[in-house]
Amino acid sequence: MQYLEAERNFSGHTLKAYASDICDYALFIQNKDASFVLAGKYDVREYFALLNEKQLGKSTLTRKFAAMRTFYKFLILNDFTKTSPLASMSGPKKEKKVPAFLTEDEMRNLFKIPDLTTRDRAMIEILYSCGLRIQELVGLNLKNIDFISGCVSVRGKGNKERIVPAGEMSLYAMREYIDERRAFGLPSDINSPAFLNTHLKRLDQRVARRVLHNWFIKAGFKKKVSPHTLRHTFATHILDRGCDLRSVQEMLGHKNLSTTQSYTHVTIESLKRIYEKAHPKA
């Protein structure tokens, strides 16, 4: 775990999941009176057969396989073993889900909520304008928002920094929130957290989720909506309006283009509409 945190820059959430996954595998190996080093690919197949019987989701199985593969790479790196039983194996294929998103009308309804506070409006604007993850949002400091260039510097997964353009409305909402803080004598220097809680400390991710969830309910959304839905909505809307996939990949901070490609379903729908309008025999 120290290696994954220090050398690989894994997030706390991933570290916790990987630790649990390796512990589960360790119990299986222990019950077979074997060891990590002596276990072969048939043991691994037996282990995943047992996991399949538990009817775990494809994403969970994929993560467990990734955790074991990373663990064996660590064992090889530190000369505990020379080979990995997973070397010649391909992991479970993760099911591709179409990301849930809000329509442009639904986004407009969200911003029309009469009692939407200045802080929470700014949070929603930045999430939607920049396509941030919730942990990236609460991790922002005011110095990360450049009002002159109209960009936000974000510290994403793997501690990697990326620069994302911010729309005029999101920057305007942030200015209003900062002006409100200054008017009440609240922390507003450049090193202050971008979003404060009631104790004038950095807003916690868990609290931010709960606050945003309440606004989603007030907006009258019938479907399940989370802060991550706004990230999906950002990608969907800009692709639908003609943004290229590579640019979206950069803005979202995706390592692989295949991850970004899950949003192209909307682009296809947009192309269909254009086709229907343009083709003589459509």
* Residues with active-site annotation: 133, 157, 228, 231, 254, 263
Q: Report the C-alpha gap between 176 and 147 in whole angstroms.
A: 12
How are beta strands 145-146 and 161-165 bridged, if at all?
Answer: unpaired
> Counting runs of H as helices and runs of E as strands, what totals does the chain give?
13, 3
Q: By C-alpha distance, which of 134, 109, 119 is closest to 230? A: 134
Burial of 209 (0-12, 13-18, 19+ CB in 10 A): middle
Structure tokens at 167: 């729309």
DSSP letter for 253, please. T
Bridge partner residues of 56 (DSSP): none
Residue 198 backbone dihedrals phi, psi, to 5 degrees: -70, -15
Integer distance in angstroms from the first to the last C-alpha of the chain? Answer: 57
Distance CA 156, CA 196 (A): 20
Q: Assign residue 164 a region: left if phi > 0, alpha if psi is -120 to 50, beta otherwise?
A: beta
CA-nearest of 55, 59, 47 to 23 is 47
CB neighbourhood size of 117 (10 A): 13
